[in-house]
Amino acid sequence: MSAPRIVEFLAIVADQIRSPALRRSTEEELSSHLADSVDDLKGRGVPEEEAVELAVLKLGDPRALGQKIRRANRPNYLRFSFLAVAGLAFGLPAALGGTLLLEQSIRSHLEERSRDKDRYRQAFLEDQKLLSENEFFGRVSPNEHDAGPFLNPKIVWEQSPQQSAPWPELEFSREASKVFWQERRLGRTWLQIDPNRFARVNTAWMSELSRFDHWDLLSGPVNPMNTHVAQGKGPFSVPMPKYNDLNDFVRVRLLQGLGSGKMLPALKDVRQLARLVYTSETLISSMVAVGMLNLERSAYEEALRRNLLRKGEWAPISAELSARARRSLYDFQVWLDLVNAPEQAEAILQAPHAPGGLCGALSELGNSAWFTRSFLEPRVPLESDHSAWLAKLDQLLHHTPGCRLTLAKAYWNSPPHAEEEMAFVFSSDPVQLFWNFGYFYGANIPYLRRVVWFHSLGYTQMRASQYERSLEPGRELSGK
Amino acid sequence: MKVNKELLKGNAQTLVLKSLQRQDMYGYQLAQEIKKSSAGAFELTEGTLYPILHALETDGAVECYWEEEGGRKRKYYRLTKAGKGLLKQKTAEWNEFRAALDLVLGGAKLEPEAL
């Protein structure tokens, strides 16, 4: 309706609303309301000009109306806080309820920040391209020589009631760990530690790793991870290698190189371990591998300072590439564009470089989606776009070149949770209350799948500008 | 008799939910329906209605869709499963309140059925 009085009224309402999409839809909604109201009044014999004035007056103060509409489109933070507190006691279901509200707030921000999303997506795609061109991140393993049967029985497994062996051979002694803690407490870098303090630490096993080209965490005759998966227990509690120990072995090996002057063999051993850890294709192991590469680079630079190496004798992974890998891994959700529209996801998936270098991230995505699917499928009909998303993910898990994804596929192709874990989720009354109020009804699934992991609550569109800023010169890098 | 505005304020959401339970409606239609079905006792200020509808949508209690008729696009609201649950809760709260108030005002014995 184009009466000047109405146009003026709508403009004042719109001025109170920041979101362009909300502004447009509110103007349209109120415009048709006013048109209906005017028609109604005219039908009762009120002259047009007077009808317009009356219709506008009945809507009240346009500034207040616009502000109330703006506030009404924000989530109820008090309720979110309640859900967050309930979540501490009842874990995932309350967190999922909270993520629904968070997702609704994300939705309104997304409309405002679409320009930042585009920048984020471009930066993410650039990261993928650079990583896929790098020999470490982009190399596809032939998967012929598995380190699993060698390493899995020897390492310490965390989150596991049993170990592969009563006295794991590759357990880093507490005595040796204390050396690192002491130096850290004194504010000294590990690079300055006298390697003789680790005389009892055996790192000879690291040189044996050169014969392997990948590491399958599920392989080998005795494997807490295998047992866990076979028992139908979920991915959130799956036993994982104790990576802290492996990191300590890496530091000791590098210190041995610095101490003996034989730096190249030490760097090669560490690089190979990092590579195997990376190929074990979990999100955590991928992050740990990047951390190991950072330790390697620090030791290389120290070796240059001590004239133990000439520049060019070794090519460490650059700090910048390492940072790109780390932030890409952290943002694994963006792969299927869980925040953006499906057609934008398609653009990412069809980029010239396949995301084969980020198998760990894809594995994490698969595990998260498996949990959502098994959690929700028996209870609510899946929306059509969610089914298409699951189909796409299924294709990625089974057909991404260079990714074995044995753990993710083991879960993906397995039946839902064991009953005892379901009981944990549904046995508490407050959880049933959420369920009865239908917080998990079908239309919410597209949002649930975006934030299944509790730690994903931190993911918002603000990552767009943060993503770009994270590579600015002078920014502190992790893992040093 | 028109009801005191303060009483209406706390229950406007319930009125909206109940109306939408009967059928999907757009804003102006909803305002007229509430007035009609209350025999004129409730006349929601139109400026109040839209923030209520938007808040219910934000909370997932209603969802909306657009339909065009006679060249005019209208935003329809539909009650969701969550909204039905909320209406159930609000109705139960109101019944409990009303029974307790009746008890105080009328000295009636509190019967389980009254809740």
Query: Between these two residues, A286 and A330, which has the higher pLDDT value?
Result: A286
Mean pLDDT of A420-426: 31
Residue A249 to residue A279: CA distance in whole angstroms: 18
Q: Check pLDDT > 70 for residue A262.
A: yes
Q: Check pLDDT > 80 for residue A70.
A: yes
Pick from B45, B58, B73: CB nearest A75: B58
Q: Do B75 and A74 touch (CB under 8 A)?
A: no
DSSP string, A183-211: HHHTT--GGGS-GGGGTT---GGGGGGGG
Pick from A68, A72, A436: CB nearest B85: A436
Any chain A CB within 8 A of the CB of B27? yes
- CA torsion angle for A132, A239, A375, A420 (degrees, to 10)? 170
A:B CB pairs within 8 Å:
88
Residue A73 to residue A63: CA distance in whole angstroms: 16
Condensed to tens digits (0 to 9), the pLDDT of residues A386-403 reads 566 677 778 778 877 778
Q: Check pLDDT > 60 for residue A56.
A: yes
CA distance to A74, A277, A367, A417, per residue, from A237 (Å): 35, 19, 11, 12
The radius of gyration of chain A's CA atoms, rounded to the nearest angstrom, is 28
- Please report which helix (H) or strand (E) contains residue A39, including its range: helix A20-43
Q: Which structure tokens are listed for B52?
A: 């209520």
Q: What is the pLDDT of residue A425?
A: 30
A298: distance to nearest CA of chain B, Å? Answer: 50
Contact A240, A159 (CB under 8 A): yes
Q: Quick one: pLDDT band at residue A269, thresholds 50, 70, 90?
A: very high
- Interface list for A 275-304 with B (CB within 8 A): none
A12: distance to nearest CA of chain B, Å? Answer: 14
Residue B63 to residue A128: CA distance in whole angstroms: 38
Contact A452, A372 (CB under 8 A): yes
Residues of A in contact with B30 (CB under 8 A): none
Any chain A CB within 8 A of the CB of B82? yes
Condensed to tens digits (0 to 9), the pLDDT of residues A314-354 reads 999 998 888 888 877 766 655 544 333 445 445 555 554 44
Q: What is the pLDDT of residue A173?
A: 82
Percent of chain A whose pLDDT exceeds 90: 26
Mean pLDDT of A93-97: 48
Q: What is the pLDDT of residue A314?
A: 96
Q: What is the pLDDT of residue A363?
A: 83
Contact A362, A408 (CB under 8 A): yes
The radius of gyration of chain B's CA atoms, rounded to the nearest angstrom, is 16
Residue A432 to residue A445: CA distance in whole angstroms: 18
Any chain A CB within 8 A of the CB of B54? yes
Contact A430, A83 (CB under 8 A): no
Q: Which structure tokens are listed for B79?
A: 């009650």
Residue A237 to residue A47: CA distance in whole angstroms: 71
Lowest mean pLDDT among A129-143, A222-236, B37-51: B37-51
Give the dihedral sign, CA B2/B5/B10/B16. Answer: positive
Q: Give the N- to C-terminal CA distance of chain A in Å, as an integer.
A: 63
CA distance to A94, A152, A436, per residue, from A386 (Å): 22, 37, 22
Q: Quick one: pLDDT band at residue A207, thresholds 50, 70, 90?
A: very high
CA distance to A66, B74, B79, B87, per residue, from B65 (Å): 21, 8, 12, 21
| Phi–psi pair at A301, nearest 5 degrees | -65, -35
Q: What is the pLDDT of residue B103?
A: 67
Residues of B in contact with A68 (CB under 8 A): 47, 50-51
Q: Quick one: pLDDT band at residue A119, thresholds 50, 70, 90?
A: low
Nearest residue to A331 (alpha-carbon basis) of A159, A131, A100, A140: A131
CA distance to A196, A294, A388, B72, per residue, from B25 (Å): 79, 60, 31, 15
B110: distance to nearest CA of chain A, Å? Answer: 27
Contact A84, A66 (CB under 8 A): no
**Which SS3 state, helix, strand or coil, does residue A276 take?**
helix
Q: How large is the ipTM?
A: 0.83
Residues of B in contact with A73 (CB under 8 A): 54, 57-58
- Interface list for A 86-115 with B (CB within 8 A): 100, 104
Any chain A CB within 8 A of the CB of B63? yes
Query: Between these two residues, A255 and A239, which has the higher pLDDT value?
Result: A255
- Interface list for A 433-472 with B (CB within 8 A): 436-439, 441, 443-444
Q: Quick one: pLDDT band at residue A313, thresholds 50, 70, 90?
A: very high
Alpha helices (runs of H) in A306-358, residue ranges in sequence order: 319-330, 342-349
Q: What is the pLDDT of residue A258?
A: 95
Ramachandran assignment for A227, one of left (phi > 0), alpha (psi -120 to 50 degrees), beta (any other): alpha
Neighbours of B110 (CB within 10 A): 11
Q: Which residue of A has its CA nearest to B50?
A: A69
A69: distance to nearest CA of chain B, Å? Answer: 5
Contact A351, A128 (CB under 8 A): yes
Q: What is the pLDDT of residue A452?
A: 35
Regions of chain B short of the pLDDT cut 50: 1, 108-115
Q: Do B75 and A32 touch (CB under 8 A)?
A: yes
Residue A157 to residue A225: CA distance in whole angstroms: 8
Neighbours of A393 (CB within 10 A): 22
Pick from B28, B47, B58: CB nearest A73: B58
- The percent helix, strand, coil of chain B (3-state, each to 5) is 60, 15, 25
Mean pLDDT of chain A: 73
Residue A15 to residue B111: CA distance in whole angstroms: 53
Residue A320 to residue A324: CA distance in whole angstroms: 6
Q: Which structure tokens are listed for A435?
A: 């369920």
Cα A34–chain centre separation = 46
Q: Check pLDDT > 60 for residue A303.
A: yes
**Substitution target from B16, B25, B28 for chain A, most A beta carbons within 10 A:** B28
Residues forming a β-bridge with B78: B63
Q: Which residue of B has its CA nearest to A440?
A: B82
User: B25-26 and A240-241 as β-strands: parallel, antiparallel, unpaired?
Assistant: unpaired
CA distance to A95, A123, A205, A222, A345, per residue, from A450 (Å): 13, 20, 41, 35, 13
**Substitution target from A437, A444, A445 for chain B, most B beta carbons within 10 A:** A437
Any chain B CB within 8 A of the CB of A69? yes
Contacts for A236 with CB less than 8 Å, ≥ 6 apart: A367, A371
Contact A3, A52 (CB under 8 A): yes
